[in-house]
Amino acid sequence: MGLSTPDIIFFIGYICIMVGFGIWISNKDKGNQTSKDYFLASKSLPWWAVGGSLIASNISTEQILGMNGSAFAIGLAISAYELMAAITLILVAKYFLPVFIKEGIYTMPQFLEQRYNGTVRSIMAFIWVALIIFVNITSIFYLGGLAIENITGWPLIYGIIGLALYSAAFSIFGGLKAVVWTDVAQVVVLVIGGLVASYMVVSFVGGGGYIAGLKQLFAEAPEKFDMIFEKTTTYINIQTGEEESAYKHLPGISVLIGGMWIANLYYWGNNQYIIQRALASKSIKEAQRGVAFAAALKMLMPLIVAIPGIAAFVILQDPAAYGFEGTGINKADEAFPWVLNNFVQDGLKGLVFAALVAAIGSSISSMVNSVSTMFTLDIYRPLFYKGNDEAFENDKHLVTVGKIVATACLVIGILVAPFLGSLEQVIQFIQEFTGFLSPGVLVVFILGMFWKRANANAALIVVISSIPLSFILKFLDAQAILPMPFLDRMGLSFLILTTMMVGFSLFFNNKPKEGPSDFALRMIVLVALILISVPSGFKFVLDQPSDTPAWMGYLILALSAVVFAMILMEKNEDDPKAIQTDNSLFKTDLVFNTSAMIVVAILAITYWTLW
């Protein structure tokens, strides 16, 4: 698609303003920039900056292009990732953040050392750094470059290099403070630009009115508004012309209770480039309000990442009925660029294109900064830095190391990203590799925070076993030996690893404990199991016939019962490094509680109405 002269002027102007703003922030305190400034933004972020930055860091090409493509194919149900993220953010703010901030955490691997030991910290730091560089950063570079190529016609490598230079303006020299403040500016452009595209294509369907357009979409394609799929729900893959299962992508009730919780809790609660923003806030109250603000913004996202795709589907089902005479699309992921090309007016295309680049740039800069932080603080500092905590916070040498690492991340991303073109589905590539790691990480964090008997030996076994176990389950699924949807597979992995964590913790520490038990904290662990693993067991038992055998459902329920019994009945001594908490730590103020209730109410109404 070609951009008009006004579009090009707007877009170039936006890029220049953002780069200039990033450079100004980066150089504002350049001479006095300390490690605390660079890696934690001096712990000075207000709630609205935390919330805006969270959304800007999260939304990228896989949401704007990928989810609109999925919405074109299977409908609004794909927005479950966005809607369930809202409720996840509320839980993270209430239960995870107080523990992290109480413990003075800078990075996620640091928590693992304080709770377990340095070995667990080092292993996870290396894994996280490799995962973010070779999976997340390279994927965003490739998808971003591909989007720019499709929209402008520029070669892929030019788009990748341009994104790297754009991100470098604030991710290398300014650290977290520059990344966050540019995120705040970019999230405004992102939301406005996305809503403009949504408004224009839906209004076209409605003959000039947005609400009328939404009603028309529902009337013409009511199946696209189903939020929970049956096993028989299918869609047509326009690229191959074949009928495929929608249930395999979003397996019914599992989007509400089941493996979806693993993806969301890991991403929003244990992901360095996300949680780092909340850790850099002024206080726990500011952090929680910021996360609640992000949850509220998440409720708007389906209008941007799903509705345009559904509108594209409706129009292309009968173009003549809508007076559309242009060309269609060859695959679902082209839905949003098609909307941008055909329904956003000249002059505003530059705004929407800028919103897309803003989303990509924010995600890349956030990932680069998180890798820089983890490598410097969790790998370089323990091995080569001898200063104490006070010296660390005021140290400038570590800032230099962080800048070198950030530069290296961008260079590696540029070199590796073009090779992803050989993959059929890059989004599936991201989900699969992240899904191999996330169940094990969530187990060691949840039990580490809320079960005082969890110990380092058990955590080490779980961390080492997590990825091989996921590969085994994937192999069994691929060979049709144990077929299972991806989300349910993650739930099973979580359950097996939880059993291992509890069992080995009790084995390595079998000394009896005197005094009262921490029953309330144990219940948090049990609720996590009920939300994540138990539903899959009931589904496989009751929802027959199914590709997954019923005996797997009974096995899941039996294994869950064993874990329940071990946690409720054990009376062992606390691990020496157990986190000491009380109920007061999890109390939240009226503003947060009100925001949480509103988010939950909207979510409940949405699913009740569109079930």
Q: Are residues 439 and 588 in the same domain?
A: no
Give the total number of structural domains in the chain: 2
**409 and 551 together in one domain:** no
Same domain, 310 and 368: yes
- Cross-strand partners of 281: 45
Sign of CA dihedral 490, 493, 498, 501: negative
Residues 263 and 380 in one domain: yes
Pairing of strands 243-245, 234-236: antiparallel
593 and 519 in a common domain: no
The verdict on 515 and 549 lying in the same domain is yes
The answer to whether residues 324 and 445 belong to one domain is: no
Cβ neighbours of residue 114 closer than 8 Å, sequence gap 6 or more: 103, 105, 577
Instruction: State the pLDDT at residue 572.
Output: 84
pLDDT value, residue 415: 93
Q: What pLDDT score does 390 carry?
A: 57
Token couple for 42: 């001096």
The reported pLDDT for the residue numbered 33 is 64
Residues 435 and 379 in one domain: no
Contact 227, 504 (CB under 8 A): no
Coil, helix or strand at residue 318: coil
The CATH number for 175's domain is 1.20.1730.10
Q: What is the reported pLDDT for 375?
A: 92
pLDDT at res. 423? 57
- HSE, CB side, 13 Å, CA atoms: give it for residue 285: 3
Indicate whether 356 and 219 sit together in one domain.
Answer: yes
Give, to the nearest 10 degrees, the angle between helix 47-58 and helix 272-279: 170
Residues 452 and 414 in one domain: no
Are 257 and 329 members of one domain?
A: yes
Q: Under a CB-based contact definition with an 8 Å cutoff, are residues 152 and 372 in contact?
A: no
Provide the pLDDT for residue 448: 93
pLDDT of residue 9: 87
| Enclosing domain of residue 446 | 428-580
Total H helices, total E strands in the chain:
30, 2
Are residues 24 and 135 located together in one domain of the fold? Answer: yes
Other Cβ atoms less than 10 A from the Cβ of 161: the count is 16
Low-confidence ranges of the chain (pLDDT < 50): 424
DSSP sequence for 560-599: HHHHHHHHHH--BPPPTTPPP--GGGG---HHHHHHHHHH
What are the structure tokens assigned to 560, written together?
């869950």
Going by C-alpha positions, the residue among 217, 242, 246, 247 that lies closest to residue 310 is 217
Report the predicted TM-score, pTM, of the whole model to 2 decimal places.
0.88
| Residues 129/375, Cβ–Cβ less than 8 Å | yes
Written as one string, the DSSP assignment of 445-463 is HHHHHH-TT--HHHHHHHH
